[in-house]
Structures are given as structure tokens and as C-alpha cells.
Amino acid sequence: MGAKEINDRLRAVLSEDGLSTDPDILTLYRVANPIVRDRVGPSRVARPRDVTELQNLVRLANEQGLHLVPVSSQGPHGKGGTACAEEHIALDLSSWKKILRTDRRNRVCMIEPGVTYGELLDALEPLGMTVPMPLAPRSGKSVAAAVMDREPSTWPNRQWDISDPVGSTEFIFGTGDIFRTGAAGGPGSLEKQRVAGGAQKSPMGPSQTDFQRVVQGSQGSLGIVTWLTVRTELRPSVEGPCLIGSDELEKLIPFIYGVQRPWLGEHSFILDRNAATLLMTHNAPDSFEAVTASLPAFICLQNIAGFERLPRERVAYQLKDIEEIAARNGLALSSSLGSVLAPELLKAATRPCGPRDFRHALRGHCLSIFFLSTLDQSPRFLGAIGEVAGRHQIERNRIGIYLQPVVQNHACHIEFMVPFDPENRGEVELMRRFEADAVHELFDEGAFFSRPYGAAGKLAFVRNQLNNAVLKKIKDIFDPNRVLNPGKFGL
């Protein structure tokens, strides 16, 4: 079937303006990351208006052998999750922006995939709620895209399971079948479930399945989320954020373990001075040098908060307990370090940072290499990345470091950030080589690329071949015609 016929068939299942082939628009959907090779842009953009259209579109794709790459965030798309080596249609759900429900009693909300963090925070605030979120996401970042990708949040002790804060979901498999997971999985309509007292909050099920987990992390290759519920938290009514600085990471690590294990405090993470400065100066990159020079090598932000019940007393006792843990580790809590104030860092970390990723502000782009391990292993990875950087004549002090305990500090997101100039081909090439080398080195050191992007995309699936073989069987079940993001992870 020719392109025109395909377009006609697509227009037939989509509403007016539901299909775009305008090259200028298509460009917006290309992966805006010069390091990513094989960046085949989409041939079309499809914007279904509702679930019926979406389902029809997927069915059509099955019939016609079309490929769909779901997109929920607004551009620029920098990580490469939407990268696809084959001709494909960008399936844009970023305009699905309904916040379908907020439920203060059960601390949960239901949202469509295009809802951004800023929009959600605004909706939750009047109800005294908030949501754990990634470190200063860009304002176009879809909540659904982030949580379905298991992005780490800055609030580790509120994450019980790596799938949190995802509750129930509805998605469409590659087959075109619609499916609801968790408590929403049935029986009965959502309304009837609510009348019974349910809130579609549980992520488990239905029954002996947790297909939400299978779709999560699949970068759109197994299912397309049409809505999901997100676990919310009470919004702090009183906050007393603290900074703990040290020139030695090894000194901060026991402190984090000490605080995280009894769930003291709230938001908590470690940034090195470069990463902290990237975050704090993304609106004023010229001040980067001055700010970075004022900081110790590593900074831990530890928020302490009170909520609705006895908030000040809560902050008071937690502050004392945390101070004691700091003292036991030869550390002290401060309200500021160098030119960084704790409340400002907390604010920067827990609000959307603006249209552009804060990492990109300094040099125009930033290579991010991230993976999971445990916090105690992080110094080893810092050593490894330093060594690789040395091999590539990249100055160690150009690299930003972000350590984010996740799942109540049972694991740790470790991220290295290397800002670079995307217009400088030499530098782009260097970054490409560096990334490939670094990912190998880190992998050999035990880095687990649970969310594989870039060079890690292939490497992460090399060692555990049986896992791949089973994943392929699952892909055969949920997307037998390879409609969704084909080739992703070799599936």
C-alpha cells in the first residue's frame, strides 16, 4: 500500500487534524540528542483523540504492518526512548491532559498520559497533596512517561516498590486489546468500583498478573498507556530542609544509610558540586563557575517535613534525630553551603525546571549515563567513570554526579552528567566514544542498566540471554506483529 493510501486509512480512523505529515512538525519528534545514532524521524504523527481512535489506530497498524512509537511528553525528546530504527508513526498522546480524578482520602489521582508534573502539582496543591517526582523534570515531561519508565524520584522513603508511584493503569497492547491493571482491572466499571469504596490505587493484578510491570520500562514497546493512577502524598505543611556537605563521598554514604533506614526525613539525594550547580544555575549558566567553586565536592539534601498532624513537633524531633546521625558520622546539618541555600535547592529539585532539561543549560546538551546499584557501591563507579574519563581526556571535574537512593534505599540510581556542546561535532564524537566505553566499564563493574538508553540499550541485554528469550516470548504475546516501537531492546 502506498503512502497516500496509508494516510487515507489513518485519517479514516483519526479525527480531523489527527494525522500530520508536515516535515516541520515531524522534526519536533526526532530524538534531540546528537549522540544517538540511527535517529530515523517519524514519517507521520498521529494524534488520536480518544481511546477508541487509539485502539482503531493500533488495529490498523496491525493490519497494515505500520509501526507506532508512543510519545507522551512534549519535546524536546532527549533520552532516546522514542528512538526507532524503522519507519514509524509518532503516536502523540501529549495532548491527553485530563486529570480524571483526585482523591484526597485515598491519596491517589488518575491522569491521562499528557499530564505534566507542573499541571499535576497545581491540581494537587489545593487538596494538600503532592507527588514524588524526578529531580527537576523539564516542564514538558509527562508524568506517565516518567513513572512508566521507573524514573527515580527524589523522595526515596515514599517509594515502596520500584514500580511506585504507579497505581492502576489502562493500556492498549500491541494487539489493539485494551487492558486494565491493578485494582482497576475489574470486575466492574471504574465508577462502580468507586461506589464499592475502591480507588483504583493498588498496582497489583488483576489476579495472578502484573502486566503493568511488564509494560513499565518497555519504552512503549509493549503497550500504550491511556490513563493511570498515581499514588500521591500529603504535601508538607512545614519544611526544614538541610544540607550536608563533604569533600568525601564515603562520609556521606553512612549518613544516608542512617537516615533512610528508619525513614527519617523526606526528600533526600546527593549531588556533586557540578550537578548541584547545573541544577541551581540552569537559569543563569554564567554563574556556574562561581557557584561550583563555593561548594564542597558532595552535597546531600535532606528535607525534613511535617504534614497535617503535629507538623512542627514532627520536624523538631526528626531534626534532632537526624542531627544525631550526622554527628555520629562526623557531619553537621547546614541551612546553606557556599552560595546554595537548602530551601532553594529543595525548591529547584522538587519543581519542574523549565522547558529545557537543567542538565543542558551549561553547554547546550548533556550526556547522561545512569544505572542502578546500591549506594555503598557508588564510590566504585565513581572511580571507574573517572578512569574512563581520563582515557578520553575528559576532565574529571567536568562530570556531574547524582546519587539518588530509590525504593527506600534498597537500591541507588547513579547518574553521571557530562555537559557538552551539541554543535561541536568533535565533542559529540568524543561523547559518543566516551559513552560507549564508560557503559562497558560500568557494566563490567556491576552497573545494572535497568532503564537502558543510548549505548546501554544493547549492552544491557547481552549478559542475560535467557531473560531476552523470555522477553521475546512476551513480546510475541502482547505485540505479535511488532507494531510498537519495533526493535527496541532487540525485541
Please give the residues from 49 up to 68 whose contact with other proteins meets the rule CB under 8 A.
none
Q: Which of 193, 246, 274, 404 is in the footprint of other proteins by CB under 8 A?
A: 193
Q: Which of 240, 280, 37 is nearest to 136 (CA)?
A: 280
Report if residue 476 touches other proteins, rule: CB under 8 A. Answer: yes
- Of 52 and 283, which CB lies nearer to other proteins in the complex structure? 52
> Residue 472, Cα to own-chain centre: how many angstroms?
24
The strand pairing partners of 68, in sequence order, are 89, 484
Find the shortest distance in angstroms from Cβ 93 to other proteins.
19
Min dist CB 470 to other proteins, Å, is: 6
Contact criterion met (CB below 8 Å) for 114 and 135: no
Residue among 459, 268, 270, 427 at smallest CA distance from 350: 268
Q: What does DSSP assign to residue 323?
A: H
Nearer CB in complex with other proteins: 213/432: 213
Q: Residue 481: helix, strand or coil by DSSP? A: coil
- Contact, 105 vs 57, CB < 8 A? no
**Restricting to residues 161-190, which ones interact with other proteins according to CB under 8 A?**
161-163, 173, 175-180, 183, 185-189
Binding mask 327-366 for other proteins (x = CB under 8 A): ----------------------------------------
C-alpha grid cell, residue 89: 508513526
155 to each of 40, 162, 201, how far by Cα in Å? 36, 12, 19
Q: Using CB under 8 A, which of 205, 241, 265, 486 touches other proteins?
A: 205
Rounded Cα distance between 225 and 228, Å, is 7
Min CB(237)–other proteins separation in Å: 13
Closer by beta carbon to other proteins, 126 or else 480: 480
3-state secondary structure of 196: coil
Between 254 and 296, name the residue whose CB sits nearer to other proteins: 254
Q: For the packed helices 273-280 and 342-349, what is the interaxial angle rounded to 10 degrees?
A: 70
**Where is 163: in which H helix or E strand?**
none
Minimum CB separation of residue 452 from other proteins in Å reads: 5
Q: Which stretch binds other proteins (CB under 8 A): 118-126, 354-362, 427-435, 464-472?
A: 464-472
Which H or E element spans position 369? strand 365-373
Per the omega criterion (within 30 degrees of 0), is the bond before 42 cis? no
* DSSP-based helix, strand, coil % in the chain, nearest 5: 40, 20, 40
- Which residue in the block uniquely carries the three cell numbers 553551603? 337
Residue whose CB is less far from other proteins, 323 or 344: 323
323 binds other proteins (CB under 8 A): no
Binding to other proteins, residues 90-149 (CB under 8 A):
105-107
Q: How far is the CB of 125 from other proteins (least distance, A)?
A: 17
As measured in angstroms, the least distance from the Cβ of 32 to other proteins is 22
Asked whether 275 and 400 are in contact (CB, 8 A), the reply is yes
The yes or no reply on residue 4 touching other proteins (CB under 8 A) is no
Which residues inside 430-449 make contact with other proteins, applying CB under 8 A? 443, 446-449
Relative to beta strand 233-234, strand 129-130 is antiparallel
Of 150 and 359, the one with the shorter C-beta distance to other proteins is 150
Distance of closest approach, residue 266 Cβ to other proteins, in angstroms: 11
Interface positions, 394-433, toward other proteins (CB under 8 A): 407-411
For 375-390, the DSSP string reads GGGHHHHHHHHHHHHH
Among 17, 23, 24, 466, which residue sits at the site for other proteins (rule: CB under 8 A)?
466
Beta strand pairing call for 268-272 and 233-234: unpaired
* CB 354 to other proteins: min, Å: 29
Q: Which is nearer to other proteins, 77 or 314 (CB)?
A: 314
Distance of closest approach, residue 370 Cβ to other proteins, in angstroms:
12
Mask: binding to other proteins, 371-390, rule CB under 8 A, as x and -? -xxxxxx-------------
Q: What residues contact residue 305 under an 8 Å CB cut-off, 6+ apart?
A: 236, 237, 238, 239, 240, 265, 266, 311, 314, 315
CA neighbor of 348 nearest in space, from 281, 435, 248, 426: 281
Is residue 256 close enough to count as binding other proteins by CB under 8 A?
no
Among 96, 451, 455, 486, indicate the residue that binds other proteins (CB under 8 A).
451
The residue written with cell numbers 523470555 in the block is 470
Q: Provide the minimum distance between the beta carbon of 78 and other proteins in the complex, in angstroms, as a whole number.
A: 19
Comparing C-alpha atoms, which of 382, 384, 444, 389 is closest to residue 420?
389
Site map (CB under 8 A) of other proteins, residues 206-245, x = contact: xxxxxxxxxxxxxx-xx--------x--x-----------
